[in-house]
Amino acid sequence: MEASSSTARTATVELRNIEGTQAALGWAGGHTLVVDRPDGMAGGMGLGFNGAQMLALSLGGCFCNDLRYTAEKMGVQLGPVAVTVTLTLDGDPLLAQSAAMQVDCTLIDGSDAGAVIEAAKASCMVSNSLRKGFPVSISEAARA
């Protein structure tokens, strides 16, 4: 999703438990993924990503997309892209304390992609949102 400062947008995902497990199936449109805890932890079976992994994937995945958006805007083509995100967690309750992302890519012609990486940093919705912070509300759904 490409951001625009003048138009608010929404993104909605759905999650439901997977029958016979304590894992959840999440989806948006036709895309799905499984969320679970590690095997043996609070009923987890290791069937999918845990919350920390999801947060790190969100950060890295958004940046990968923004690298492509940025390269297209700059009229250049990226070669192979490798992104590693390390999330540091601590406390009780457990909170993300920091995230470190390493980006390894070049342009298709083998030249340095530093300008693309720097421009993508400025537009990456997830990293910019996390740095700035935003309100999160959690409420119980109304029952009929």
Do 110 and 133 lie in one domain? The reply is yes
Q: Output the pTM of the full model.
A: 0.89
Confidence of residue 117 (pLDDT cuts 50, 70, 90): very high
Query: Span 2-25, mean pLDDT?
Result: 87
Do 44 and 66 lie in one domain? The reply is no
Do 18 and 44 lie in one domain? The reply is yes
Do 21 and 63 lie in one domain? The reply is no
Number of structural domains, the chain?
2
Query: Span 43-61, mean pLDDT?
Result: 96
Do 41 and 56 lie in one domain? The reply is no
Residue with tokens 């740095």: 131
pLDDT at 6: 73
Final residue in a domain of this structure, among 34, 49, 64: 49
Q: Of 131, 62, 125, which Cα lies nearest the Cα of 98?
A: 131
- DSSP class per residue in the chain: ----TTS------EEEEPTTSS-EEEEETTEEEEE-PPTTSTT--S-SB-HHHHHHHHHHHHHHHHHHHHHHHHT--EEEEEEEEEEEEETTTTEEEEEEEEEEEEETTS-B-HHHHHHHHHH-HHHHHHHH-------PPP--
pLDDT at 5: 58
